[in-house]
Structure 1
Amino acid sequence: MTTSLSSKQRVQSIDILRGVIMLIMAIDHTREYFHIGAVTSDPTNLATTTPLLFFTRWITHFCAPAFVFLSGLSAYLAGTRRTKGGLSGFLIKRGVWLVFVEVALITLALSLNPLYNAIALQVIWAIGVSMILLGLLVRLPARVIGLIGILIIVGHDLLNNIKLPPNGTEDVLMKLFFTARGTVFFLDKTHAVFALYAVIPWTGVMLLGYAFGGLYQAKYRPVNRKVLLIYASLLLFLVFMALRLVNAYGDPAPWSVQKNGLFTFMSFLNVSKYPPSLMYTCLTLSAALLVLALTENSAGKLAGFFKVYGSVPFFYYVCHFYLIRTLTVIVFFLQAFKPSQIITPNSPFLFAPPGFGFNIGIVYLIWLAIILSLYYPCKWFSNYKKTHKQWWLSYL
């Protein structure tokens, strides 16, 4: 069986990158619940945003692609300790588990609504379904899986222009799996599904990550892996720049000249996440590969700090949402809102009335408090996973 670094120890560059992702990601989730304008404004709308608000949102664009890519890479490493059949079964079961977590646990944290009037399908849903699909493909050679991933990433933008009869089965499936960008599907008069992450474009990212897992075989010297990762990062960035300058294919939102140079630059960077466009994927994965290349031999307190969060990303992800929402309930009453305002008309989210929240500076302070308060719980669980071998730990 092919050996890899992970068969003996965790790859620290993966944990470092995951840790950075986890912390940056929490900025946006904190903003969504504590910024006073989050409910009514889009931070990437250049007509209404500010540079600070724009970049607070934009920097988090790098999180989901890197995390999905690393999920694929980690699946490859997990396969070095399993047969193909064993890996397939594991990925399918873990994918089903993640879909359940998205619907049952994360949706509850987002809305605090035990009636589940609105079910949110976000990144954990996309990872779960992508894992199921990868589990069905793992018997193929890694290069073939990577090629399928590239074809999806490069070609799925062609589907944006396909128009189907609205609300028909084909339209629902197309949106759910390929083109959803905040699509709402009503199950009945009081229950709806909010689909934000179209699955298949994210599956392409995971499949590409799986193919890159081969670089972590024992036959690759760290210096050679570093060079390959840097070259791949540079290639993706050059593809992004070429496509963005041409301003034609690769993103449904072309950039344009704005009221000043800074806002024109913001327009240039304002690539589409829902679904992840070719330009968006190239830009974000370019950064992820560069971080992987530069952190493989990182040491010291800062690297250790990131590794704590990156070694238990699932645990941190669930905990940080419930911590955020617990704080929103506390702030709700501290700001003297009334119990009658817990429910906002036409909104699925409880404890989020108009006028709730703070300016962006306070949001950053809350974010720091959230991530720092989770450091020791994450460190404890990381140590627990290292010293215990129960089967269920592989699903967390």
Structure 2
Amino acid sequence: MKRISSIDVVRGLVMVIMVLDHTRDLLHTDSLTQSPTNLATTTPILFFTRWITHLCAPAFVFLAGTSAWLSLQAGPDKSAGRRFLLTRGLALIAIEFTLVNFGMNFDIRFRYLIFEVIATIGAGFIFLSFLSRLSWGVVAGIAALLFFGHDLLGLIPLPTTPVPRFISTLFFTLGIFPGDRFTFLIAYPILPWLGIMLAGFSAGRLFTLAPERRSRIFLRLGLGALGLFAVLRFFNLYGDPVAWTSQKTPLFTVLSFFNLNKYPPSLLFSLLMLGIILIVLSAAEGKDNPLTRFLLVYGRVPLFYFLVHFYLAHLLMLVMVFLQGYHVADLRFGPFLNGRPDKASGIPLWGVYLVWISLVLLLYPVCRWYGRYKAEHREKKWLRYL
């Protein structure tokens, strides 16, 4: 399948942004004690540092759906394409619970497992391996139903018995399941994110159009999504569990307006983030310049980049705490812990930005090498999974 540059450019952009969030989470002085979106304690720059990274997961999931559609259309054997979606979905879930979870926690005992974005993309691929047998219209209808209607699921009480509660949480909402040996956190429930993936899958048809025409359509869709978001949010009509309110200053009132629920993604969160992504996608169509070529390097090797950056950022965290005078005995591992000492540690926000930029630049030659390796070794089927 011939890669479409605009998809990889947008994917590369949000992956660059993603490193900022994980760097802040691992290294920032206040990341262990303060939520950056808590309007009672945050600052505008700290809020923005977290808020801008909200673009990442919706972009990953939406574009994963788009790429799945393109992959199925490119191959003559649709059955083989669906089998690949199934096996890649299972592989992504396995990678989440091994390489990704260890990269986030560095806990060799795996006392804390998180069902996050990689696992929910994997689950989405599994569903797509079956749903892709349906007509485009039916898939688009299911996407619309999940996308616009999943906020209503919050009105339905969850079962109280353990197994039904776990299954319903896995599909519908955020949930924590503590245990004697490990704690399981469902951060990315399947159905709300499946709605975003199916929207991306349905949008795959637009890539059969000429770049100029699909650029105009993406722009209109993006502006339409932002317009619908603005109306629903302004009147607090529907689409997010927390209404915006007047705050201590006009700026913080604006922050309240854009402070949306990600876990699970509310309708307003999805409309705002996907609206921005569609506009960026429109702007990326047909562009070939130093910036797009830079972003392409990251966007062509998304999972490889995702894994490597986590390990590098976490190793830098350990270097930081040791340089600040802590010892191995001070490190804390286990549920909701990633090794940071319980005493004061970390760097200021300007240092987080400096480390973020350094990490992105450090990863550039590594990703460029791996991208070339993949392109030159297409006979190695396992590379399709990484």
Q: TM class, shorter-chain normalised?
A: over 0.9
Question: What is the CA distance between 1:67 and its match in structure 2?
Answer: 1.1
The aligned amino acid for 2:62 is F
Partner residue, 2:133: 139
Tell me, yes or no, if the aligned pair for 1:117 and 1:348 is still in contact at 8 Å: no
1:1-396 paired onto structure 2 within 5 Å: 7=1, 9-82=2-75, 83-166=77-160, 168-180=162-174, 183-186=175-178, 188-217=179-208, 220-343=209-332, 347-389=336-378, 390-396=380-386
Matched-pair identity in %: 40
Determine the C-alpha separation between the residues in 2 that align with 1:40 and 1:208.
36
Query: What is the CA distance between 1:363 and its match in structure 2?
Result: 0.6
Instruction: Report the Cα offset of residue 141 of structure 1.
Output: 1.6
SS at match of 1:151: helix
Structure 2 Cα separation of the partners of residues 356 and 126 of structure 1: 32
The runs of at least 4 aligned residues of structure 1 exceeding 4 Å deviation read 344-347
Deviation for aligned residue 1:343:
2.0
1:87/1:138 contact within 8 Å kept? no
- Retained in 1: the 8 A contact 2:107–2:334? no
1:4 aligns with: none
Q: How far apart, in 2, do the equivalents of 1:299 and 1:153 lie?
A: 33
May I ask how many residue pairs the two structures share in their alignment?
A: 384
CA contact under 8 A between 2:106 and 2:333: conserved in structure 1? no
Task: State the Cα deviation string for residues 140-187 of structure 1 (Å, max 9, x = none).
Answer: 12232122111101111011122234453332222221111xx2213x
Counterpart-to-counterpart distance in 2, 1:235 and 1:84 = 33
Instruction: State how far apart, in whole Å, the 1-side matches of 2:90 and 2:189 are.
Output: 17
CA contact (8 A) 1:150 1:204 kept: yes
1:346 to partner: Cα distance? 6.6
Deviation at 1:87, TM superposition (A): 1.7
Q: Distance in 2 between matches of 1:366 and 1:167?
A: 45
Letter in structure 2 aligned against 1:10:
R
For residues 209 and 344 of structure 1, do their structure 2 counterparts lie closer, same or farther at Cα, with a shift above 3 Å needed?
closer
TM-score in terms of structure 1 length: 0.94
- 8 Å Cα contact 1:19-1:311 kept in structure 2: yes
**3-state SS in 1 of match to 2:113:** strand
Give the conservation status (yes or no) of the 8 Å contact 1:21–1:66.
yes
Partner of residue 3, structure 1: none
The one-letter code sitting in structure 2 at the alignment partner of 1:312 is V
Secondary structure of the 1:22 match is: helix
Q: Is the 8 A contact 2:55 2:273 kept in 1?
A: yes
Q: With the length of structure 2 as denominator, give the TM-score of the two structures.
A: 0.97
Residue by residue over 1:10-58, the C-alpha shift from the partner in whole angstroms, topping out at 9 and shown as x without a partner, is 1111111001010001111000000011011110010010001000000
The CA deviation at 1:190 is 2.4
CA distance in structure 1 between the aligned counterparts of 2:188 and 2:341, rounded to whole angstroms? 23
Q: Which runs of 5+ in 1 are unaligned?
A: 1-6
> Cα deviation per residue 1:47-106 (whole Å; 9 max; x = unaligned)?
010001000000011111011000000001111233321121111100000001100001
Equivalent position SS for 2:218 = helix
Query: Which whole-Å deviations, capped at 9, do the CAs of 1:168-215 have from their partners, x for residues lacking one?
Result: 3332222221111xx2213x4121111111111001100110111111
**Aligned residues: CA RMSD:** 1.4
AA aligned opposite 2:383: L
